[in-house]
Structure 1
Amino acid sequence: MQLETQTLLMEPIAETDWPLFKALHTIPAVIEKCFDAPSDDELEKKFHARLQAWTPESGAWLTLVIKEKSSGGKVGITGFFVDQGIAEMGYLLMPEFYGKGYGTESLHAVIHWAEEKLGLNLFRAVVTEGNVASERVLEKCGFRLQKKIPEAYEIGGELYADHVYQRAS
């Protein structure tokens, strides 16, 4: 499986993507508005779970590595898991690729593929309060804020609201 846009390529995550996966889960600029850095053991388990064979019924994440066509540079990861017919979306990008529109471009491509190939038509994403850049990406991709759940998530000992976004085709 490979998804392609004007400037990006997306392919399933592989063993060789461990350095990228680890960086995306430990670099403060990436995780500060998403989650606390996991322990090494938790991170390894999460990575190996992402390497498993994926089907919409598996309940596992479809994790795609985003690469820049022009340089081959690894931009980040994107993907989703399906729960009761709803695709729960997620993405993380390396800081050097912020502001280039790659989050929006890759999310559009994944949604289009999920609609066309899997017949999915309901998408959800949960964003931590204060993660304005991710909220903008979601809005550009047709997501709308459905609800705010106060004090739903803790990062660095501080409680934040979850902003739940949804998109219907």
Structure 2
Amino acid sequence: MPSLCIKTPRLTLTPITENDWPLFFKLNTDPKVIELCFDRKDELQVREKFDARLQPWVEGSASWLTLVIRDIKTQQPIGVTGFFTTEDGAYEVGYLLLAEHHGKQYGTESLAALLDWAVRAHQIGEFQAVVTAGNIASERVLIKCGFWLDEVVENAYQIGGRVYDDHIFRWRAPSTNA
């Protein structure tokens, strides 16, 4: 894959590398980050997930395109964003930000840039996102980027022994007539 670097006024988004293990581990184990996303996993499970994310992304494959979000000035990591192709061929986005960067609009800025890049570079005109009911901050990011709530799947997911509904959001590029 050619060197991928998406830039915004405040951020750079580049493919994840082995050097990003500390960031990935923290994102996947910090209770403030994962509380409405998934149960905490042990280090081996997180490592397996990380190793899978290191695989090169190929359009249409089930592997993730995982990009590290960094502050453009300091190059300090803020989080990750990306997407993968689901079993039914849909593109699904996801993102996690370090807790100390919540509320700074980095999620919105990085997701908007990712969507723009996907449309321009790969003509991907539709995305979905699955959010656990109650994850209001994540839903706000999606809505600001033009997603809409399309479906609620009741009792779809369990975190910490509690059952949650899944909120399925959809996005379509403005120029897509589908």
Same structural fold, with TM-score higher than 0.5 when normalized by the shorter chain: yes
SS of the residue corresponding to residue 51 of structure 2 reads: helix
Aligned to 2:57: 54
Q: Which segments of 5 or more consecutive residues in structure 2 lack a partner in the other structure? A: 174-178
Percent identical pairs in the alignment equals: 49
TM score, norm. by length of structure 2 = 0.92
Runs of 4+ in 1 over 4 A off after TM superposition: none
Aligned to 1:16: 19
Root mean square deviation of aligned Cα: 0.9
- Preserved CA contact (<8 Å) 1:86 1:120: no
Count, aligned residues:
169
Aligned to 1:90: 94
Aligned to 2:132: 128
SS of the residue corresponding to residue 65 of structure 1 reads: strand
Alignment of 1:37 with 2:77, yes or no, is no
Alignment of 1:81 with 2:84, yes or no, is yes
TM score, norm. by length of structure 1 = 0.97
Mapped to 2, the partners of 1:69 and 1:62 lie a distance apart of: 20
Mapped to 2, the partners of 1:87 and 1:110 lie a distance apart of: 12
Mapped to 2, the partners of 1:118 and 1:74 lie a distance apart of: 26
CA deviation map 1:95-132 (0-9, x unaligned)? 11111110000000000000011111111000001000
Mapped to 1, the partners of 2:42 and 2:147 lie a distance apart of: 32
